[in-house]
């Protein structure tokens, strides 16, 4: 009986793998986002000012693009002497547009750690815990950042 059950499970998993490995769906190919491509080129060079300029330009045409707001805040945060009020403004706008934007929650949590607001960072970790039912890299990364922050605070005390 156990062997028959195991063979049944195995046959379903093989069939599922075969279906998954089939031809990709024949639909229109997703168009690449020129703003994101230009942002990526600037960010690879760690040209955060250039990356921010690209995203600000993109927001002129698409003010409701959560990804643009998220990446703009990230670019400002990564640059020298970040204007944290702009950082928080754009992360919050990204979350207003898309409340389940995982990267925005992660990066906003990290921004709160930059200004010493551990409770707010933990709020975003809790949001990611709800959004990422089976776990996700954003949750893991923010949890790790919080752990590092807590360890630094403990050493200073």
Q: Please report which confidence band the pLDDT of residue 155 belongs to, taking 50, 70 and 90 as the band edges.
A: confident
0.95 cut: is pTM over it? no
Asked: is 33-156 a CATH 1.25.40.10 domain? The reply is yes
* Residue percentage of the chain with pLDDT more than 90: 76
Q: Please report which confidence band the pLDDT of residue 5 belongs to, taking 50, 70 and 90 as the band edges.
A: very low
Q: What is the mean pLDDT of the chain?
A: 86
Return the pLDDT at 31. Answer: 76
In whole angstroms, give the CA distance from residue 109 to residue 103.
10
- Which of 88, 86, 102 is CA-nearest to residue 141? 102
- Is pLDDT larger for residue 156 or for residue 146? 146
């Amino acid at each position: 009986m156990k062997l028959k059950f195991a063979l049944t499970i195995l046959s379903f998993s093989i069939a599922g793998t075969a279906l998954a490995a089939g031809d990709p769906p024949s639909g229109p190919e997703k168009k690449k986002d020129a703003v994101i491509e230009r942002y990526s080129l600037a960010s690879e060079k760690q040209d955060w000012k250039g990356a921010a300029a690209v995203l600000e330009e993109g927001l002129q045409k698409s003010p409701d693009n959560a990804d643009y707001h998220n990446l703009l805040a990230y670019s400002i945060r990564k640059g020298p002497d970040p204007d944290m009020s702009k950082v928080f403004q754009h992360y919050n706008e990204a979350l207003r547009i898309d409340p389940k934007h995982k990267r925005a929650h992660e990066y906003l949590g990290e921004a709160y750690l930059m200004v010493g607001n551990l409770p707010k960072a933990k709020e975003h970790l809790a949001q990611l815990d709800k959004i990422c039912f089976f776990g996700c890299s954003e949750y893991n990364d923010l949890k790790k950042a919080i752990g590092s922050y807590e360890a630094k605070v403990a050493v200073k005390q």
